[in-house]
């Protein structure tokens, strides 16, 4: 599948659709799970002098779980307070109410100084940006020498189908996706071109709480009415998404 091109949408303004989607699709339970590779990234970056940034922090799931990783790896919290960057004002407001420092911003124009980031975390963000190489170059610009990037994105398997269309009319896992990679090699080529060395690559299932999956069926949220928020926030059971996987990459700035 490495020769195929990723499924993409035409570049356009998606802010309005992003906010509508954020109002009905919670991210917290999805991003609060910490894969082992992210734990490795945290440990690898600990000796570096620089900030910890969660790019596309959503509602703060990873920001909250960051400290859990630290408690598992040593008996105190990491002294580096992570900063969240989020494009959606809806999700940023939720994360702030939970007590996290969050800045509104775009992955293509990060409000960060060159060489200021020791650990950059990007979970299910790069599939939303118009220019994935441009975003990877911008992330690399902010990182210290030897800085660590942990990145996740969906992997689209053959015959994948999901009841959403993006703005180009393609069937996709999420209507705000600009692209969906069809091989891990497509993603690692982008990161390597941006000056990052991919040290580890994993592919695993994408698991969503069943309540969130139910609300992704067109019209389900409207039909449920006042019950929709309760269904959305159900943490279990969680199901693997058919014909999709998740690419997880640990990369280091050369």
Work out the pLDDT band at 23, boundaries 50, 70, 90.
confident
Span 83-130, pLDDT tens digits: 999 999 999 998 999 889 999 998 899 999 999 999 999 999 999 999
Asked whether the beta carbons of 252 and 148 are under 8 A apart, the reply is yes
State the residue for tokens 């600009």.
178
Alpha helices in the chain (DSSP H): 15-24, 28-31, 36-45, 61-73, 89-97, 132-142, 184-193, 210-215, 220-224, 228-232
Question: How does pLDDT run across 142-182, given as a tens digit for each residue?
Answer: 999 999 999 999 999 999 887 778 877 888 888 889 999 99
1 inside domain: no
- Which tops the pLDDT comparison, 221 or 173? 173
Q: 28: which 2 tokens?
A: 């917290």
**Assigned domain for 211 exists:** yes
Note whether residue 27 is domain-resident. Answer: yes
> Who wins on pLDDT, 215 or 141?
141
CB 82 within 8 A of CB 52: yes
Residue 90, domain member (yes or no): yes
| b/e burial code for range 229-247 (CB count within 10 A of at least 16 → b) | eebbebeeebeebeebbbb
CB 144 within 8 A of CB 49: yes
Q: How confident is the model at residue 75 (pLDDT cuts 50, 70, 90)?
A: very low
Domain contains 2: no
Indicate whether 174 belongs to any domain.
yes
Query: pTM score, two decimals?
Result: 0.82
pLDDT for 64 equals: 85
Is the separation of the CB atoms in 69 and 34 below 8 Å?
yes
Q: What pLDDT score was predicted for residue 76?
A: 47
> What range defines the domain where residue 222 resides?
7-253
The tally of domains found in the chain comes to 1
For the chain, what is the mean pLDDT? 83
At 59, which CATH number?
A: 3.40.50.150
Sequence-distant (6+) residues with CB within 8 A of 236 are 209, 210
Residue-level pLDDT at 70: 54
How many other CB atoms are found less than 10 A from the CB of residue 251?
A: 27
Residue with more model confidence, 159 or 230: 159
* 42 found inside a domain: yes
- Is the pLDDT score of 132 beyond 60? yes
pLDDT at 10: 45
- pLDDT value at position 11? 44
In a domain, 137, yes or no: yes
**Are 243 and 206 a contacting pair, CB within 8 Å?**
no
Composition of the chain by helix, strand, coil, percent to 5? 35, 30, 35
12 or 20, which is more confident:
20
């Amino acid at each position: 599948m490495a020769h195929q091109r990723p499924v993409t949408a035409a570049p356009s303004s998606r802010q309005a659709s992003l906010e509508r989607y954020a109002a009905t699709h919670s991210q917290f339970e999805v991003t609060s799970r910490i894969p082992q590779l992210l734990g490795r990234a945290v440990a690898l970056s600990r000796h570096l002098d620089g900030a910890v940034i969660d790019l596309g922090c959503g509602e703060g799931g990873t920001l909250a779980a960051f400290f859990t990783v630290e408690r598992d790896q040593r008996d105190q919290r990491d002294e580096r307070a992570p900063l969240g960057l989020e494009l959606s004002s809806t999700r940023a407001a939720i994360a702030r109410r939970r007590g996290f420092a969050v800045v509104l911003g775009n992955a293509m124009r990060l409000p960060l100084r060159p060489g200021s980031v020791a650990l950059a975390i990007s979970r299910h963000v790069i599939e939303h940006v118009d220019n994935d190489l441009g975003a990877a170059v911008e992330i690399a610009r902010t990182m210290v020498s030897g800085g660590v990037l942990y990145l996740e994105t969906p992997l689209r398997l053959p015959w994948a189908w999901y009841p959403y269309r993006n703005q180009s009319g393609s069937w996709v896992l999420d209507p705000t996706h600009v692209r969906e990679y069809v091989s891990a090699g497509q993603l690692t080529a982008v990161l390597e071109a941006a000056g990052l060395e991919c040290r580890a690559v994993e592919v695993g299932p994408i698991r969503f709480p069943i309540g969130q999956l139910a609300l992704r069926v067109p019209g389900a949220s409207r039909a449920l009415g006042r019950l929709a928020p309760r269904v959305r926030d159900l943490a279990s059971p969680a199901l693997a998404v058919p014909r999709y996987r998740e690419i997880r990459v640990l990369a280091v700035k050369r």
